[in-house]
């Protein structure tokens, strides 16, 4: 009997993960990708001697990547070299107020103690609880397909869930341990990109602090795209066929199933289709109304994670006082948070993030130059213009120059921006979001958009708008989870 055919739409982390898992289970697997290169939001481009990762830049949860490749008889080290960053990153509160975060736990506890008496031991206690949440959350809960509440019905798992602080907010949880504003901001920062204020994010997500501080911040030499290349290599070794410049125009259906997928390069037939493209786009643009899981009203009621205003900048000369990762918290968080979450608009005084991979990796910039990636988290659904992009570039670069004493503007040799309209154009991103759905309590597990179409028995979904949620490790896991569900029904 011939192997069943699987078609995966989209070559982001979730799509590649699903394709690899399905191919390993004997499916004849094909990926179709609309853009001219694979990787989705994790694409990479090179220009004027600089190499830029276009999206994800933080390598956290190294165990998830290692576990992924181990499933297929491989190891991360078979594909790329990992470097642990030390300091992991720095938080910049103002001129002369830089706080490097050491990789060594004893040094980190000493740093906390120097800021707030007793905070060193409090950190140890906080991370002990966070370690438990990480163990249960990452090794058990995130691999649940979210199709039924019965998945959580075992007495042991229910007991675990009750210990996970799902009904307490991250804001309250952090303040039980720390009082100093700098420490509170530091502990709350990892959840900012989950799509909700710390007051509205379950304290379950302190597991992110464990990932940050205990497991460390790493960098794959050559950039985050090395992960994409590794996955593509593994996929092709398993027989996966990848077609770029192959945008899907329609998913054709008949009799409660997908019959074929229409692309600009012709039609593809498959026994099962896994949509790794934007869920909302697949539902509203590729399927007939009667084949959709959700209404327009449903989508409009979803709380989206932030979008981003991004800049890729090549700079001549060395930029002093900056590390590989830099968080600029030199302005009040509350007004920026309000502009993202409660009163969507362009922020007046934005927080921002700066990455210089050239501090770690000489291959990403010409000799004597720096590779500078800038990110401002913003509300989704905003209209971006060249004037807005120029205004915010000047605003944050001026602040960087004032704080660090570097001359940046006069030494720029390459510059490119990317914002909401680009997310829509390149990824069909709903409301131009960058990170998917917000991880609020009412949008967790079985309350996320379903990974299977309710009306078509051979259409599934994967990626950051379904389980388990946004981020690179969750996207890898999302592909594995959907592949398991497909295999149950089609092998």
What pLDDT digit, counting tens, does each position of 458-488 carry? Answer: 999 999 999 999 999 999 999 999 999 999 9
Number of residues in the chain:
491
**Whole-angstrom Cα distance, residue 457 to residue 190?**
38
Please name which of 309, 315, 328 lies closest in space to residue 404, comparing C-alpha atoms.
328
| Cβ neighbourhood burial of 51 (10 Å; 0-12, 13-18, 19+) | buried
**Residues contacting 467, CB < 8 A, separation 6+:** 142, 144, 145, 146, 445, 448, 451, 478, 481
What pLDDT digit, counting tens, does each position of 266-299 carry? Answer: 999 999 999 999 999 999 999 999 999 999 999 9
φ/ψ region of 436 (left if φ > 0, alpha if ψ in -120 to 50, else beta) reads: left
- DSSP letter at 202 equals B
- Asked if residues 426 and 283 have their Cβ atoms less than 8 Å apart, the reply is no
**Whole-angstrom Cα distance, residue 443 to residue 463?**
14
What pLDDT digit, counting tens, does each position of 344-374 carry? Answer: 999 999 999 999 999 999 999 999 999 999 9
For residue 470, give both structure tokens.
């946004």
**Residues contacting 303, CB < 8 A, separation 6+:** 195, 196, 437, 438, 440, 443
pLDDT at 334 exceeding the cut of 90: no
* pLDDT score at 295: 97
Report the pLDDT averaged over residues 361-390: 97
* pLDDT score at 282: 98
* H helix and E strand count, the chain: 15, 19
What pLDDT digit, counting tens, does each position of 91-149 carry? Answer: 999 999 999 999 999 999 999 999 999 999 999 999 999 999 999 888 888 898 989 87
* pLDDT score at 161: 66
For residue 232, give both structure tokens.
């593509």
Q: How large a percentage of the chain has pLDDT more than 90?
A: 87
pLDDT at 376 exceeding the cut of 50: yes
* pLDDT score at 148: 84
* pLDDT score at 1: 32
What pLDDT digit, counting tens, does each position of 206-215 carry? Answer: 999 999 999 9
What pLDDT digit, counting tens, does each position of 194-204 carry? Answer: 667 899 888 98
* pLDDT score at 224: 98
């Amino acid at each position: 009997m011939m192997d069943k055919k699987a078609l995966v739409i989209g070559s982001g982390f979730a799509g590649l993960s699903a394709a690899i898992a399905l191919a390993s289970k004997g499916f004849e697997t094909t990926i179709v990708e609309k853009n001219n290169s694979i990787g989705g939001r994790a694409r990479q481009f090179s220009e004027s001697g600089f190499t830029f990762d276009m999206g994800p830049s933080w390598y956290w949860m190294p165990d998830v990547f290692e576990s992924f490749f181990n499933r297929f008889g491989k190891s991360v080290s078979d594909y790329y070299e990992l470097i642990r960053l030390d300091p992991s990153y720095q938080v910049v509160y103002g001129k002369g107020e830089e706080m490097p975060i050491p990789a060594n736990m004893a040094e980190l506890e000493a740093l906390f103690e120097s800021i707030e008496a007793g905070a060193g031991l409090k950190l140890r206690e906080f991370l002990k609880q966070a370690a438990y949440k990480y163990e249960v959350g990452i090794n058990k809960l995130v691999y649940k397909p979210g199709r039924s509440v019965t998945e959580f019905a075992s007495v042991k798992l229910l007991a675990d869930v009750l210990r996970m602080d799902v009904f307490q907010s991250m804001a309250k949880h952090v303040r039980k341990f720390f009082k100093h504003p700098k420490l509170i901001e530091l502990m709350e920062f990892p959840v900012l990109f989950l799509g909700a204020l710390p007051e509205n994010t379950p304290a379950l997500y302190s597991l992110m602090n464990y990932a940050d501080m205990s497991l460390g911040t790493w960098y794959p030499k050559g950039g985050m795209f090395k992960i994409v290349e590794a996955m593509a290599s593994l996929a092709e070794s398993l027989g996966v066929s990848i077609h770029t410049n192959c945008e899907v125009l329609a998913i054709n259906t008949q009799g409660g199933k997908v019959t074929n997928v229409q692309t600009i390069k012709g039609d593809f037939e498959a026994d099962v289709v896994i949509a790794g493209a934007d869920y909302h786009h697949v539902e509203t643009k590729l399927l007939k109304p009667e084949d959709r899981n959700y209404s327009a009203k449903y989508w409009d009621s979803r709380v989206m994670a932030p979008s981003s205003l991004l800049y890729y900048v090549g700079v001549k000369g060395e930029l002093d006082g900056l590390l590989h990762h830099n968080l600029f918290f030199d302005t009040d968080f509350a007004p920026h948070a309000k502009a993202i979450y409660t009163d969507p608009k362009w922020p007046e005084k934005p927080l921002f993030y700066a990455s210089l991979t050239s501090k770690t990796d000489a291959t990403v910039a010409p000799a004597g130059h720096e590779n500078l990636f800038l990110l401002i988290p913003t509300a989704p659904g905003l209209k971006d213009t060249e004037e807005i992009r120029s205004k915010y570039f000047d605003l944050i670069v001026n602040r960087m120059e004032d704080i660090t004493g570097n001359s940046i503007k006069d030494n720029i040799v390459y510059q490119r921006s990317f914002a909401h309209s680009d997310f829509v154009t390149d990824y069909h991103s709903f409301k131009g979001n960058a990170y998917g759905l917000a991880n609020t309590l009412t949008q967790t597990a079985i309350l996320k958009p379903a990974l299977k179409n309710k009306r078509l028995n051979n259409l599934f979904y994967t990626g950051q708008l379904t389980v388990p949620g946004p981020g690179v490790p969750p996207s890898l896991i999302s592909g594995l989870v959907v592949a398991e569900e497909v295999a149950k029904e089609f092998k």
